Chains A and B, each alone.
Chain A
Amino acid sequence: MSASLIASITIFALAVFLGFELIARVPTLLHTPLMSGTNAISGIVLVGALLVSSFAESALEQTLTFLAIVLATINVVGGFLVTDRMLEMFKRKPTEPPE
């Protein structure tokens, strides 16, 4: 096993525990925004798509990496925006309807 693999496994293991600690604190009230927000974070695979994009040569490879960037970007942008839209609606005090 390489040193970098050990480092990766260490980070992964710590992140698992951190993740559960964090998620357990989120109230059920906010579970839908939690889901769509973390969903947007999983769009971090966009970074991976960017990294491999420059090695794309053939038309097939270029199409594939382009598709990966598009899919991951939708995941990121849509996920964060819709979460923001939802969280905006959670009000402590009653407000007048928008109309």
Chain B
Amino acid sequence: MTPTLAVVSQNVVNLTYVVAAILFVVGIRLLSSPATARIGNRLSAGGMVLAVAFTILLPEVDSYALIAAGLAVGTGAGVLTARLVKMTAMPQMVAVFNGFGGGAAVIVAFYEYRRLAPDPGALSGDVLGAALFSALVGAITFTGSMLAFAKLQELLPGRPILYRAQQLVNAVLLGATLLVGVVAGIAEETVWMSLLVLLGLVLGVLFVLPIGGADMPVVIAFLNAFSGLSGVGAGFVLDNNALIIGGTLVGASGTFLTILMSRAMNRSLANVFFGAFGAVVAAPGEAVGEADSKTHREITAEDAAVMLAYASRVVIVPGYGLAVAQAQHNVRELADLLERRGVDVKYAIHPVAGRMPGHMNVLLAEANVPYPQLYDMEDVNPEFPRTDVALVIGANDVTNPAARSTADSPIYGMPILDVDRAANVVVLKRSMSPGFAGIENELYYNPKTAMLFGDAKASVENLVTAVKAA
């Protein structure tokens, strides 16, 4: 017999779960302002430590060697990942962590089922249902997240991976999975549960395969919601309120962000998951041919610098291209120079400017841009008519006026930044080639738009030098 640490009763532990849940709620509440957010996150972490510590003190929890080893390995890996991950790689990391949460939920649910299944009647209907739900959702979350990671990390091509009769295959598989779930509920045999988990793992892969890189913000948010739901399921299995509340908060957050992201891209969820948006790239169509007859205006870094230096209001519109070029710090240097000359500088952040919700804000915060300069789309759009120069860096589709005016454009109806309403527009771009979605951007042929061609980082560096001389 190993000695036990059992010093607390189940009731005491249940009360600490209530405290933990309150700390989670207060923690998320404090995320409503950047000034209190850090304290909020620490309160949530404190709630977690409390819940975990008191759980270990329960009489029936006594496999201390196993627990200590698991906590040590997990903590080591967690600390290393959190310290080393680059801010540009945040979406991949969140995807992996989502997957891990889902994976742990699968094991918990599977194990409860396996433990109780040989004893007929031990699993009541609701526990059984919750175990099957948690295992299935957790399994989909696990492999779906790993695949999302592989796509974001560019281990796999980011474009949608399509094959013949894909939707039919998925539908048949989903039907088969639900059937196996029902059988596993009736038969209460581990083999059926194993099969259910296996099918869930396959479904997770098939579900993310056809989704393109540009849709990743939606997918990550969706998998976030799923990882929460699998936790809720595990909470029902174990009749544990900490899991139910914690999981539900995550589910709500993930669902909210999923809806927000798909709205920002003007797409229905069904369209994101089954539409294979990126496939449009293969067929840019006649729009490109039409472009040949239009003319655009080029500008030198020196001329653009003069425009910026003698403006009174400048709005910088960063896109993911800026982060890819690692030009965040150069952009901040440019903004600092302009501010020192008395220019009012704002950043306009589109909701999908990045690879996950809010990603661009983090990247700019990392480059020491003070957050009061970061403006949401709704807040900055009324500013454009009063703006002297809008400086577009590595952003394309989110500035395309066709979304407002051209009813047959694929992006028609998508909320955009009204860059074209500024007095002057300077676009930093590598070439005239269309963006990710393969859609021609009318903004570039607007008479008040000037194009500054070249690598984003080099162009911004040239602007910095030229502004210094201006």
CA distance A32 to B220 in the complex (A): 11
Q: Which residues B235-251 have CB closer than 8 A to chain A?
A: 235-251
Q: Which residues B102-151 have CB closer than 8 A to chain A?
A: 103-105, 107-108, 110-112, 114-115, 124, 126
CA distance A39 to B97 in the complex (A): 7
CA distance A27 to B30 in the complex (A): 11
Flag if B55 contacts A91 (CB, 8 Å): no
What residues of chain A lie closer than 8 Å to B175, measured between beta carbons? none
The residue that A39 contacts in the complex, of B94, B111, B349, B357, with Cβ under 8 A, is: B94
Residue of B100, B104, B250 most packed against chain A (CB within 10 A): B104
What residues of chain A lie closer than 8 Å to B74, measured between beta carbons? 69-74, 76-77
Q: Which residue of A lies closest to B39 (CB)?
A: A87
Q: Does B52 contact A (CB under 8 A)?
A: yes
Known: A35-B257, A48-B108. A82 touches B82 (CB 8 A): yes
> C-beta contact mask, A21-57 vs B, less than 8 Å → 1, else 0?
0111111111111111111111111111111111110
B63-71, B386-394, B461-469: which lies at the interface: B63-71
CA distance A22 to B32 in the complex (A): 8
Q: Does B336 contact A (CB under 8 A)?
A: yes
> C-beta contact mask, A56-98 vs B, less than 8 Å → 1, else 0?
1000011011111111111111111111111111111111010
Flag if A64 contacts B253 (CB, 8 Å): no
CA distance A1 to B129 in the complex (A): 13
Flag if A38 contacts B250 (CB, 8 Å): yes
Flag if B97 contacts A38 (CB, 8 Å): no
CA distance A2 to B236 in the complex (A): 12
Flag if A73 contacts B73 (CB, 8 Å): yes
The residue that B361 contacts in the complex, of A28, A52, A71, with Cβ under 8 A, is: A28
CA distance A40 to B371 in the complex (A): 24
What residues of chain B lie closer than 8 Å to A29, measured between beta carbons? 34, 358, 361, 371, 374, 376
The residue that B234 contacts in the complex, of A5, A41, A48, A77, with Cβ under 8 A, is: A48
Q: Does B170 contact A (CB under 8 A)?
A: no
The residue that A40 contacts in the complex, of B44, B111, B245, B351, with Cβ under 8 A, is: B44
What residues of chain A lie closer than 8 Å to B254, measured between beta carbons? 35, 38
Flag if A54 contacts B249 (CB, 8 Å): no
Q: Which residue of B lies closest to A29 (CB)?
A: B361
CA distance A2 to B239 in the complex (A): 11
Flag if B60 contacts A54 (CB, 8 Å): yes
CA distance A44 to B56 in the complex (A): 13
Known: A16-B248, A35-B358, A91-B370. A56 touches B111 (CB 8 A): yes
Q: Which residue of A lies closest to B251 (CB)?
A: A19
Flag if A76 contacts B48 (CB, 8 Å): yes
Q: Which residue of A lies closest to B114 (CB)?
A: A61
CA distance A69 to B83 in the complex (A): 21
Known: A37-B27, A94-B336. A69 touches B248 (CB 8 A): no
Q: How far is the CB of B51 from chain A (nearest CB, A)?
A: 6
> C-beta contact mask, B296-338 vs A, less than 8 Å → 1, else 0?
0000000000000000000000000000000001000000100
Flag if B31 contacts A48 (CB, 8 Å): no
What residues of chain A lie closer than 8 Å to B78, measured between beta carbons? 73-79, 81
The residue that B79 contacts in the complex, of A40, A55, A78, with Cβ under 8 A, is: A78
Q: Does B429 contact A (CB under 8 A)?
A: no
Flag if B107 contacts A35 (CB, 8 Å): no
Q: How far is the CB of B344 from chain A (nearest CB, A)?
A: 15
Additional pairs, 13, CB under 8 Å, beyond known A5-B236, A36-B90, A92-B35: A22-B28, A34-B357, A38-B249, A39-B227, A48-B104, A50-B55, A67-B107, A77-B82, A79-B78, A79-B97, A87-B34, A88-B38, A92-B371
List 27 A-B residue pairs with CB atoms under 8 Å apart, sorted by A's residue number. Answer: A8-B235, A11-B241, A23-B257, A28-B349, A30-B361, A34-B31, A35-B221, A38-B228, A40-B97, A45-B247, A48-B108, A48-B243, A50-B56, A52-B238, A53-B61, A54-B63, A72-B100, A74-B97, A74-B100, A75-B78, A75-B101, A77-B74, A77-B79, A81-B78, A82-B85, A87-B37, A89-B368
Cβ-closest 4 pairs across A and B: A73-B74, A19-B252, A69-B70, A31-B358
